[in-house]
Structure formats: C-alpha cells, structure tokens
Amino acid sequence: MLDRPRYMMPLDENELFSWGATSWRMDIGSYREIKSVLADVVWRRPDDMPEDFEGHIPDTPLGTLGESGMSRLARSLSTMINDPSLVPGIAQTGVLSVGGIEIQNGSYDAAWHHDGLAGKRKGHAGDFFLIAYFGETTWQDEWGGQYEYARRNLSQNWPVEQFTPSSEVRRIAPAERTVMIGWNQNPRLIHRAAPLLVPKDRITIIASLNFHSR
Ligand SMILES: [Fe+2]
C-alpha cells in the first residue's frame, strides 16, 4: 500500500512569513504518538513560581518527562514539522531541528514580546518555535489564553520591554490538537499569550526549532 501524505493541505506559509505565526490541526498520526507520550508526563510545581500574576496557572504547571519520553517527543515533532506535505516552502529551503522542549499548563499575561529581544531569550528562542496545545477539545473565546500575534513598527531604539502592535492582532485558540509555528528571525513580529481567565487545561508543548539551510 502506498503511504498517504501526512497532510492533505499544507500550513499557511504565507501567514507564517508575513505575520510571524500560523496554526493548523495536527495530523492524526502525530496526535496519537504525542498523546501517548503525554500520558507519561509528571506534573510539578516549580520553586520559582510567581505569586502575583493575572491569569490562571494550576498548582502543578510544569511537566517533566524522562529521557526516552523526551526523545520520542522530539522525534514526533521533528517528523511532523519537516513533512513536505505540511511545509512545502520551508522543506524546499532547509530542515528544522528540534532544540529544547518545555511542557507547561496554564497561562498568564507575559506581555507583548519578541523572543530574541528584551531579555526573553529562553526555551523557545530558536529560529522558529512550535507550540502544540492539549487539554480541552474545544475552546471558548471568553476563556482567554489565546496565542496572540501582530506586527510592530521598527524604530532606531533598542526596545527594552515595551512592544506595541501597530497592526491588527491575530489569535490562535489553544484547543487540543492545535499546533502553531512562530518565526523568531523577523524583529517586526511580536506575540504574547493572553491570560487564561478560567481554570481550564491549557497544556503546551513548546519546542525551539533551528533552521539549517540545504
Ligand atoms: Fe515568546
């Protein structure tokens, strides 16, 4: 039997490269694999949990996985995000490798930012990053917790922390099986997680992606 392509329709690469992000519904094969890895996650409360924030975070928001779980997860994400049926344009120019992976639940207002600027260089500060959402099968607008992205105007000053959208703001609802990719190499493209307003699960697998041209 011939293998069917993983995706019948690619993700919107035009949206990714003009707005800095885009989302899609994860294919069933990747979804099943990643769901089975997620079953092994152990949830913990970090020592440096902020006390005062706007938004909802469960008591144990930090997910940990053993070494083999982590490498299964990295392999699944890497297979999905390099599939030419999903990313035909990117696949023509290079390959994405999965760097650090974080597993979290909940979200609070992290303010508009660009991952490579203003001291935000952490886990998802690769050339690109990918976030896979789990927890609630559908998502209601009034729950908050959306991933928001926009363009800003560049200025001569080094932006320290005040990033302001100069465009419309686009949103991704973090319902289970939604995946998004973001582009960190373009300084115009900023994003934030809106605070979660109700105690719903908003589980995120956040992977830093590095680009290797062919
Ligand atoms: Fe970010």
Looking at residue 102, which CATH number applies to its domain?
Answer: 2.60.120
Domain residue limits at 181: 27-127+138-213
Q: How many domains does the chain have?
A: 1
pLDDT-derived band at 190 (thresholds 50, 70, 90) equals very high
pLDDT-derived band at 152 (thresholds 50, 70, 90) equals very high
Average pLDDT for residues 26-47, to the nearest whole number? 95
- Measure Cα distances from 119 to 77, 133, 195 in Å: 27, 25, 20
In a domain, 133, yes or no: no
In a domain, 43, yes or no: yes
State the distance from the centre of ligand 1 to the C-alpha of 160, rounded, in angstroms.
15
State the distance from the centre of ligand 1 to the C-alpha of 61, rounded, in angstroms.
17
Output the pLDDT for position 120.
Answer: 52
State the distance from the centre of ligand 1 to the C-alpha of 5, rounded, in angstroms.
31
Output the pLDDT for position 161.
Answer: 60
Whether residue 148 is predicted with pLDDT greater than 90 in this model: the reply is yes
- Lookup: tokens for 204: 């995120």
Output the pLDDT for position 130.
Answer: 97
Average pLDDT for residues 164-174, to the nearest whole number? 96
State the distance from the centre of ligand 1 to the C-alpha of 68, rounded, in angstroms.
27
In a domain, 73, yes or no: yes
In a domain, 167, yes or no: yes
Average pLDDT for residues 103-121, to the nearest whole number? 77
State the distance from the centre of ligand 1 to the C-alpha of 114, rounded, in angstroms.
6
State the distance from the centre of ligand 1 to the C-alpha of 184, rounded, in angstroms.
9
Q: Percent of the chain, pLDDT > 70?
A: 93
Whether residue 61 is predicted with pLDDT greater than 70 in this model: the reply is yes
In a domain, 22, yes or no: no
State the distance from the centre of ligand 1 to the C-alpha of 12, rounded, in angstroms.
20
In a domain, 96, yes or no: yes
State the distance from the centre of ligand 1 to the C-alpha of 193, rounded, in angstroms.
8
Lowest mean pLDDT among 57-61, 157-161, 170-174: 157-161
State the distance from the centre of ligand 1 to the C-alpha of 176, rounded, in angstroms.
20
In residues, how long is the chain?
214
State the distance from the centre of ligand 1 to the C-alpha of 33, rounded, in angstroms.
26
Give, as one character, the DSSP assignment of residue 90: H
pLDDT-derived band at 118 (thresholds 50, 70, 90) equals low
State the distance from the centre of ligand 1 to the C-alpha of 103, rounded, in angstroms.
14
In a domain, 79, yes or no: yes
Task: Give the C-alpha separation, 115 to 42, whole Å.
Answer: 27
pLDDT-derived band at 160 (thresholds 50, 70, 90) equals low
- Measure Cα distances from 29 to 36, 162, 207 in Å: 11, 41, 19
In a domain, 64, yes or no: yes
